[in-house]
């Protein structure tokens, strides 16, 4: 495991850079048999009657179970005219994500291969394109999961075809979920920028480090401007520290951003320019407190999903704005990107609007113990030579590298979550995870690191939480255990939480929730009713309020979401506080009163 860093500056329009979106309708074909790779479908126009929207999951676009339940390759193809003005410039093709892996071609040339469904990848295509002319872009996207993918899973074959098994509780949506870009930079260009901020009283610092390619003989200049555009500090050199007297901090609820303009210059000529929004804030764990700017912070909000009707996991700006509006309405100050890195638009929005984010990798379902009779796959050990092994860990390490590289500069991100509910009570789990914690800290010494603990590894049994700066617990007392018995649940939950509090670390309850069918009511608040969800949350809140070490509560889930079929799921997971079309259940009003401290 090396700590070799990834570099990934998002495409921008600046004085020296331009980008062109490839979003829209692409030619699209399902390819369950894998004929496309054999027949080299990238070599010409894709023969298909279908078109698919980009960005979107393809699964729910068509009225066709073959698309919905597809396992294997799908092909996307479009044509794009390279702007004539890009002559003499470096030209890059960039995918914000392709779930879970992809190969891309420009005309007949293979340009990119990427593993992992939730982080970007790109290819320098300068030598393959002619400004002013059209090129064909073809992508094959594969949605199969293996013991060596993040998240893991496996494919079995029966006489009726392929079956995909996995240990996580959300539908395996796939496709081009985020934007695709063609962008240009000068040949000599900035390739990476890292900022780390500090606050000492009212004195703010912005430590920056930049990297450039082809920049021999060029210099770097950095200028920091406030939200009104006034220059507050400048520096020269590839790295340096900018100091702001009387800094306006970024803080929860107030996403104040400075603009850091980094220029690659030759004398007065700006060869390349890149602008980063910078929030001046600090994050620190002290004892059982989670401090932002030195002040104790209490997380209120949700574990969420990228999940909307028709688009599946496709990013949509209207839902982005609406979901944040609902979070503001209810008094949420934070959320976790359960269970994978979200679209960068989401983090940018959180930066600008002062939301706090726990940023999670796609390492979900590294736990065959969660299979039970529900998800299938029982009988496999989680960690073994034939299941999750050293090769899997290398993929997991790469997922962490790509997450940190992409999100390291977001002030909203205050905590890394390197996995959700992995097996954590075994020595194999301890050995698997320890180096991943070390790696994450090497990549980003400025933020705390944790993972999300599962109920199967309670206090005293978990061997991985010793490596975490913050304890993140998912617990379902009153739902999966003590079902319908909130008094018994309250006692059991209190006992476990008191034990965790003895570890002297801050605790965030990253999941608690109860499936609730909107509109189902009863004077006897039984499971699945709106009354039960309210009573269940109330019980949890009583427990949290008695434990000082609890520094946050994230209800599972913000909204109802799609899962694979199962006897535990009725048209998906119904633990949403909002329905899938974002209508509030009764619990929404309870949370709003609690989080906004309204009577
Ligand atoms: C969990 C998982 C989450 C599930 C949830 C549930 O512990 O982290 O992905 O959806 O439980 O509803 O069962």
pLDDT digits (tens, 9 = 90+) for 420-459: 999 999 999 999 999 999 999 999 999 999 999 999 999 9
Give residue 8's pLDDT band: very low, low, confident or very high (50, 70, 90).
confident
pLDDT of res. 11: 97
Average pLDDT over residues 289-299: 98
pLDDT of res. 375: 46
pTM for the predicted model, two decimal places: 0.97
- 3-class secondary-structure state, position 595: helix
pLDDT of res. 376: 46
Percentage, residues of the chain above pLDDT 90: 95
Q: Can you spell out the DSSP letters for 453-481?
A: EPTTS-TTT-SSGGG-SSEEEE--BTTTB
Q: Determine which residue's CA is closest to atom 9 belonging to ligand 1.
A: 169
User: What is the best residue among 369, 511, 562 to mutate for testing ligand 1's pocket, by most ligand atoms within 8 Å of CB?
Assistant: 511
Q: pLDDT tens digits, residue range 506-557?
A: 999 999 999 999 999 999 999 999 999 999 999 999 999 999 999 999 999 9
Is 70 exceeded by the pLDDT of residue 377? no
Q: Which residues are catalytic?
A: 421, 511
Q: Is the Cβ atom of 467 under 6 angstroms away from ligand 1? A: no
**Cα–Cα distance list, 364 to 234, 309, 338 (Å):** 43, 23, 9
User: What is the best residue among 424, 573, 574, 576 to mutate for testing ligand 1's pocket, by most ligand atoms within 8 Å of CB?
Assistant: 573
pLDDT of res. 378: 60
Q: Determine which residue's CA is closest to atom 1 belonging to ligand 1.
A: 474
Q: pLDDT tens digits, residue range 327-346?
A: 999 999 999 999 999 999 99
Ligand 1 atom nearest residue 515's Cα:
12
Residue 229, Cβ neighbours under 10 Å: how many? 7
Ligand 1 atom nearest residue 573's Cα:
12
Letter string b/e over residues 528-554, b meaning 16 or more CB atoms within 10 A of that residue's CB = bbbbbbbbbbebbbebbeebebbbbbb
Q: Is the Cβ atom of 515 under 6 angstroms away from ligand 1? A: no
Is 90 exceeded by the pLDDT of residue 7? no
pLDDT of res. 5: 61
- Quote the ligand 1 centre to 169 CA distance (angstroms): 6
- CA-CA-CA-CA torsion sign (316, 320, 321, 323): positive
Q: pLDDT tens digits, residue range 462-479?
A: 999 999 999 999 999 999
Q: pLDDT tens digits, residue range 133-171?
A: 999 999 999 999 999 999 999 999 999 999 999 999 999
Please state, rounded to an integer, the average pLDDT across all residues of the chain: 96
Strand duo 356-360 + 413-420: pairing:
parallel
Is 80 exceeded by the pLDDT of residue 6? no
Residue pair 17/274 in contact (Cβ under 8 Å)? The answer is yes
Average pLDDT over residues 219-247: 98
pLDDT of res. 95: 98
- CA-CA-CA-CA torsion sign (141, 104, 349, 355): positive
């Amino acid at each position: 495991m090396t700590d070799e860093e990834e570099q990934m500056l998002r495409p921008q329009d600046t004085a020296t850079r331009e980008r062109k979106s490839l979003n829209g309708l692409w030619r699209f074909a399902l390819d369950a048999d894998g004929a496309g790779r054999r027949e080299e479908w990238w070599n010409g126009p894709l023969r298909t009657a279908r078109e698919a929207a980009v960005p979107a999951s393809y699964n729910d676009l068509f009225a066709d179970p073959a698309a919905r339940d597809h396992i294997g390759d799908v092909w996307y193809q479009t044509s794009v005219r390279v702007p004539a003005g890009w002559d003499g410039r470096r030209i890059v093709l960039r995918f914000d994500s392709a779930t879970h892996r992809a190969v891309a071609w420009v005309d007949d040339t293979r340009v990119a291969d990427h593993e992992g469904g939730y982080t970007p990848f790109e290819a320098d295509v300068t030598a393959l394109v002619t400004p002013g002319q059209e090129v064909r872009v073809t992508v094959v996207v594969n949605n199969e999961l293996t013991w060596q993918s993040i998240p893991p899973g496996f494919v079995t074959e029966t006489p009726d075809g392929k079956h995909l098994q996995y240990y996580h509780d959300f539908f395996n949506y796939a496709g081009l979920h985020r934007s695709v870009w063609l962008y240009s930079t000068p040949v000599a260009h900035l390739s990476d920028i890292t900022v780390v901020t500090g606050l000492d009283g009212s004195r703010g610092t912005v430590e920056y480090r930049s990297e450039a390619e082809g920049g021999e003989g060029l210099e770097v200049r950095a200028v920091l401007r406030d939200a009104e555009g006034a220059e507050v500090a400048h520096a020269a050199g590839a790295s340096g520290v900018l100091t702001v007297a009387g800094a306006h901090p970024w803080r929860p609820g107030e996403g104040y951003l400075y603009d850091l303009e980094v220029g690659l210059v030759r004398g007065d000529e700006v060869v390349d320019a890149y602008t980063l929004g910078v929030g001046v804030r600090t994050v620190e764990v002290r004892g059982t407190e989670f401090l932002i700017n030195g002040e104790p912070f209490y997380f209120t909000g949700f574990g969420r999903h990228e999940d909307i009707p028709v688009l599946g996991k496709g990013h949509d700006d209207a839902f982005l704005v609406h979901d944040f509006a609902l979070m503001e309405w209810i008094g949420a100050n934070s959320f976790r990107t359960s269970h994978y890195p979200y679209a960068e638009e989401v983090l940018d929005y959180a930066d600008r609007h002062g939301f706090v984010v726990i940023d999670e990798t796609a390492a979900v379902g590294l736990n065959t113990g969660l299979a039970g009779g529900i998800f299938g796959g029982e009988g496999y050990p989680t960690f073994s030579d034939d299941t999750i092994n050293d090769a899997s860990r290398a993929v997991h390490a790469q997922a962490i590298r790509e997450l940190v590289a992409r999100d390291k500069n977001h002030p909203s991100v205050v905590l890394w979550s390197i996995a959700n509910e992995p097996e954590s009570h075994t020595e194999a789990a301890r050995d698997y995870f320890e180096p991943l914690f070390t790696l994450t800290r090497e990549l980003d010494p400025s933020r705390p690191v944790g993972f999300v603990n599962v109920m199967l590894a309670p206090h005293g049994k978990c061997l991985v939480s010793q490596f975490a700066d913050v304890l993140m617990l998912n617990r379902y007392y009153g739902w999966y255990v003590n079902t319908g018995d909130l008094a018994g649940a309250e006692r059991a939950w209190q006992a476990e939480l008191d034990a965790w509090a003895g570890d002297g670390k801050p605790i965030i309850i990253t999941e608690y929730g109860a499936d609730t069918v909107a509109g189902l009511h009863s004077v006897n608040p039984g499971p699945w009713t709106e009354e039960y969800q309210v009573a269940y949350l109330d019980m949890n809140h009583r427990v949290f309020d008695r434990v000082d070490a609890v520094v946050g509560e994230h209800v599972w889930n913000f909204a109802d979401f799609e899962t694979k079929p199962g006897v535990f799921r009725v048209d998906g997971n119904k633990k949403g506080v909002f329905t899938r079309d974002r209508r509030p259940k009764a619990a929404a009003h309870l949370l709003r009163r609690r989080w906004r401290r309204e009577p």
